[in-house]
Structure 1
Amino acid sequence: MYYYYTPVVSIHLYFSFIQVIVSSHEKQYVIFPPQIKTDKTGIFQILRGSSSTMMSNNELSVCWSFFGEYCTSVFFFLDKDIIYICPFNGAVKGKVLITNFRLYFKSSYNVSPTVMLDVPLGAISRVEKMGGASSRGENSYGLDITCKDMRNLRFALKQEGHSRRDIFELLFKYAFPLSHGLPLFAYVTQEKYAENGWKIFKPMEEFRRQGLPNNKWRITFINEKYDFCDTYPHVLAVPFESKDEDLRRVATFRSRGRIPVLSWIHRENQAVIVRCSQPLVGMSGKRNRDDERYLDVIREMNHTTKLTIFDARPNVNAVANKATGGGYEGDEYQNAELVFLDIQNIHVMRESLKKLKDIVYPNVEESHWLSSLESTHWLEHLVLSGAIQVADKVSSGNSVVVHCSDGWDRTAQLTSLAMLMLDSHYRTLRGFQVLIEKEWISFGHKFASRIGHGDKNHADQDRSPIFVQFIDCVWQMTKQFPTAFEFNESLLLEILNHLYSCRFGTFLYNCESARDLHDLRSKTVSLWSLVNSKSEIYLNPFYSPESGRVLYPVASMRHLELWVSYYIRWNPRIRHKVQCCESSDSEAKWIQLLVLTRKFSQHRERGA
């Protein structure tokens, strides 16, 4: 194995002599040179099990899994004791290591059971100081860390030596790099994979798969330079008879210029799912005959008598939006029916998840569990019922238009879930990646604003778990249709982990134009590169492809479940109990399913 030294350029001033060593086999090693006078043997004991090895001349090697990660002040912080206030095991003494990607804690070698934390800094939402110089209580002086992935972490330190200040400043700097003029970690890492995940979604290939263009729908590059609509993708599918000048007139009447464009077309009945933003009706009830005609052209494409417009908002919210210049389609849209789906806005969803977090971490009151879960309204907010209505209309041969206010939150939830129900291609491993790239990433879901990548503003009112809700809905569908999806739960968990981690470029920025402006595809790695390089661990062994099948999940509360493997994965007590209760039952169901699948396959072979 060959090594070369690389200086840690942004290291803390006092520790600039620490070096990072990187191998040629996609491994990285943090090296303590011999001149550093520290107990390397003791440090090795702390990190044993983390791919650590003692090297010649008593150097310590800490192996990380990808390029670009370096230690910010390893020597200093590995030599400092810190106490993790574990909500399950009490105060745990150990050591902490901070890199530009993660916070890593491991309990001292004499602590049993071993306690470890591995937190991507991108998952940190807030870092606060706990206690002050006058604090006298045990473990009352330290740091409180709020994470985006349902965790809260508390560390206690000794008051002398400015130990808290140094750790606080490092965490604050690297958890919120954009607030300090630093790049996100995705721009630093140099991971290499056999497949380029950025090539998984090619718009023209996806249009061709759907049978487009045809004699009714055409492809337009009116937005090639993003000067038509800066939050839309560069290539769009629009009605064949609508000229580009017609599109520009319609754009003046749609919020943010997000005109109605095709998301999906039914191969047989030619019904379509069209997405857009709200019309700019305002308090005066303005009309735009170009917009009215445009929607009627969409209706005429498959000769339906009525075009169904699904407005994701509650009726009262849509009416209130008139005060800010928005609104909804009124009676002047003569060949359309308007259906409000009563899905709440981003602020309600954010508060609902916060309530859920409060009841699952760190402690769960089992005696009041059901009532506590009901009080969060989280399961009620899942948008499955609205997506079912969209899918049912299209499957029945009726074209639909879907929008909310700006068309990048609830709209994306509804269109992508309906497409998942209607099109089995999106239920494959690669098809699901295309669905996310198409309906969420290219159509401008505001990932940067909703997640707050690298931003210290914890209280930003734009943050909301809209994409988490979508993935939760997908999980609900995989539970109800266990053989219909080629991928498994591990894929969904991987996606949500890297929604926050900033290790990959996939979920960075708010829209396609911003990604192009920052050279995202050439300077960062796609999450799909990782997924497709080890696809076997994300595959569902019980998958049975059925190309023409439409899925209609049951959306009633009694058929929905809390996703324990995600929301309660940090609570070992509850997770262990759930796994123990479910393991034997789940195993029996899977065995029974395997038997039935084999019998069906044998029957089909005999019939052939």
Structure 2
Amino acid sequence: MYICPFMGAVSGMLTVTDFKMYFKNVERDPHFILDVPLGVISRVEKIGVQSHGDNSSGIEIVCKDMRNLRLAYRQEEQSKLEIFENLTRYAFPLSHGLPLFAFSYKEKFPVNGWKVYDPVAEYKRQGLPNESWKITKINSTYELCDTYPAIFVIPTSVKDDDLSKVAAFRAKGRIPVLSWIHPESQATITRCSQPLVGPNDKRCKEDEKYLQTIMDANAQSHKLIIFDARQNSVADTNKAKGGGYESESAYPNAELIFLEIHNIHVMRESLRKLKEIVYPTLDEARWLSNVDGTHWLEYIRMLLAGAVRIADKVESSKTSVVVHCSDGWDRTAQLTSLAMLMLDSYYRTIKGFEDLIEKEWISFGHRFAVRVGHGDDNHADADRSPIFLQFVDCVWQMTKQ
């Protein structure tokens, strides 16, 4: 029996496979169906259901799409333990020593998904390589940076030895690499992680020269804008932990701008608050103030505003920009991909949007599985955060402007 928050108890047949949970009631017209892919489940718990007569025990399924589902059983049913065990086993395969469903699924597809995105073809579309930028395979064995793709674009004049020193000075070895180049001005968007300046303001002459080379590759401007997605206060705190940001004394032709975007923990809490006000019931009288209290739309606005500033510097000021946060795989991916979506109409096609996500998110190491907790039953993991969901919301907002 499904305890529906909108229509009360609904009896029916429950089926659990290694892919989804399926509940169906055929007595209602139209038929009542509940179809839940197991990958969307965040938590499964045994509960007591005291107000439904014989149906005195059951399970609560907390989903990542904001649904909370309650199922009740009759006391004499022997299958309730089996249902609970199968749900937890297949919803969280990694926690039970099982492969993810994608690796056990045997269907043959007409398109090889691994070849949907061709980085060389994408860079060629942008007019690369050229006299200032080259495609390098120095990371073909992922030894320079294990969270970067095998192929990326760097300034032509940079030597491999210098590149290794730059990698040692950037968090996780995530050096500045090109994401997009303007077809007319040659102004670029490059992405990276924070420099490891630490509390003593350590410097790296190779890194300083590297950013100067990025600036010099654009003859339209004698300035480089560094967008740090973080709050200034947080970036200062990171200095005490060995991280930090570029000082304008070490990078004299660069301007540092903090976008003041909050971290993954703040975003996770914002989504939690949003879920509380939309499910299972809405408070129509206080709806606007409740939404405002979650700060979700405020954070969406901050991301869009940051992307607009990046796009404007490249398009209107013809100035190259560098974008980073701490590790360069969350807020950085949000900002670069949104700015590129604004600047390049190709990314506003289906194929182009595929390439954008494959390049800026997947190939450059966004931690999809960790951020959504895919296959893992540790629902309280502090590394979970709706980073890609925010990006999708931002894209939706852009389509409505």
* TM-score normalised by structure 2 residue count: 0.96
Aligned ranges for residues 470-509 of structure 1 at < 5 Å?
470-480=391-401
**Partner of residue 110, structure 2:** 194
Q: Distance in 1 between matches of 2:109 and 2:352?
A: 20
Cα offset for 1:168?
0.7
Match 2:383 to one of 456, 462, 465: 462
Do the aligned partners of 2:190 and 2:321 also contact (CA within 8 Å) in 1? yes
Return 5+ residue gaps in structure 1 as ranges. 1-82, 481-608
**Partner of residue 27, structure 2:** 110
Q: Distance in 2 between matches of 1:434 and 1:454?
A: 26
Cα offset for 1:391?
0.3
Cα offset for 1:113?
4.8
Do the aligned partners of 2:182 and 2:188 also contact (CA within 8 Å) in 1? yes
Does 2:207 match 1:291?
yes
**Partner of residue 188, structure 2:** 272
Q: Distance in 1 between matches of 2:78 and 2:51?
A: 17
Do the aligned partners of 2:42 and 2:379 also contact (CA within 8 Å) in 1? yes
Does 2:294 match 1:376?
yes
**Partner of residue 356, structure 1:** 274
Q: Distance in 1 between matches of 2:355 and 2:27?
A: 48
Cα offset for 1:324?
1.4
**Partner of residue 146, structure 2:** 230
* Seq. identity, %: 64
Q: Distance in 1 between matches of 2:113 and 2:82?
A: 38
Do the aligned partners of 2:231 and 2:262 also contact (CA within 8 Å) in 1? yes
Match 2:309 to one of 389, 397, 405: 389
Does 2:13 match 1:95?
yes
Match 2:333 to one of 409, 412, 425: 412
Q: Distance in 2 between matches of 1:434 and 1:231?
A: 18
Do the aligned partners of 1:256 and 1:406 also contact (CA within 8 Å) in 2? yes
Q: How many residues align?
A: 395
Do the aligned partners of 1:314 and 1:340 also contact (CA within 8 Å) in 2? yes
Q: Distance in 1 between matches of 2:242 and 2:396?
A: 37
Aligned ranges for residues 65-464 of structure 1 at < 5 Å?
83-107=1-25, 109-131=26-48, 138=53, 139-303=55-219, 304-331=221-248, 332-382=250-300, 383-396=303-316, 397-464=318-385
- Post-superposition CA distance 1:199-226 (Å, at most 9, x none): 2210110111101110000111110000
- Post-superposition CA distance 1:265-322 (Å, at most 9, x none): 0010000000000000111111111111111111111132210000000101111111
- Post-superposition CA distance 1:1-60 (Å, at most 9, x none): xxxxxxxxxxxxxxxxxxxxxxxxxxxxxxxxxxxxxxxxxxxxxxxxxxxxxxxxxxxx
1:386 partner letter: G
- Post-superposition CA distance 1:424-475 (Å, at most 9, x none): 0000110100000000000000001101111111111111110011011111
- Whose relative contact order is higher, 1 or 2, with alpha carbons under 8 Å and at least 6 apart? 2
Task: Report the 3-state secondary structure (helix = DSSP H, G, I; strand = E; otherwise coil) of the residue aligned with 1:234.
Answer: coil
Q: Distance in 1 between matches of 2:378 and 2:355?
A: 31
Task: Report the 3-state secondary structure (helix = DSSP H, G, I; strand = E; otherwise coil) of the residue aligned with 2:175.
Answer: coil
- Across the aligned residues of Structure 1 and Structure 2, the Cα RMSD in angstroms comes to 1.3
Cα offset for 1:183?
1.1
Task: Report the 3-state secondary structure (helix = DSSP H, G, I; strand = E; otherwise coil) of the residue aligned with 1:263.
Answer: strand
Q: Distance in 2 between matches of 1:111 and 1:217?
A: 64
Considering only CA atoms, is the larger Rg found in Structure 1 or Structure 2? Answer: 1
Do the aligned partners of 1:157 and 1:163 also contact (CA within 8 Å) in 2? no
Q: Distance in 2 between matches of 1:328 and 1:140?
A: 57
Task: Report the 3-state secondary structure (helix = DSSP H, G, I; strand = E; otherwise coil) of the residue aligned with 2:11.
Answer: strand
Do the aligned partners of 1:313 and 1:343 also contact (CA within 8 Å) in 2? yes
Q: Distance in 1 between matches of 2:142 and 2:372?
A: 24
Q: Distance in 1 between matches of 2:75 and 2:210?
A: 68
* TM-score normalised by structure 1 residue count: 0.64
Do the aligned partners of 2:56 and 2:75 also contact (CA within 8 Å) in 1? no
Task: Report the 3-state secondary structure (helix = DSSP H, G, I; strand = E; otherwise coil) of the residue aligned with 1:252.
Answer: helix
Q: Distance in 2 between matches of 1:252 and 1:127?
A: 43
2:305 partner letter: S
Q: Distance in 1 between matches of 2:290 and 2:56?
A: 30
1:384 partner letter: L
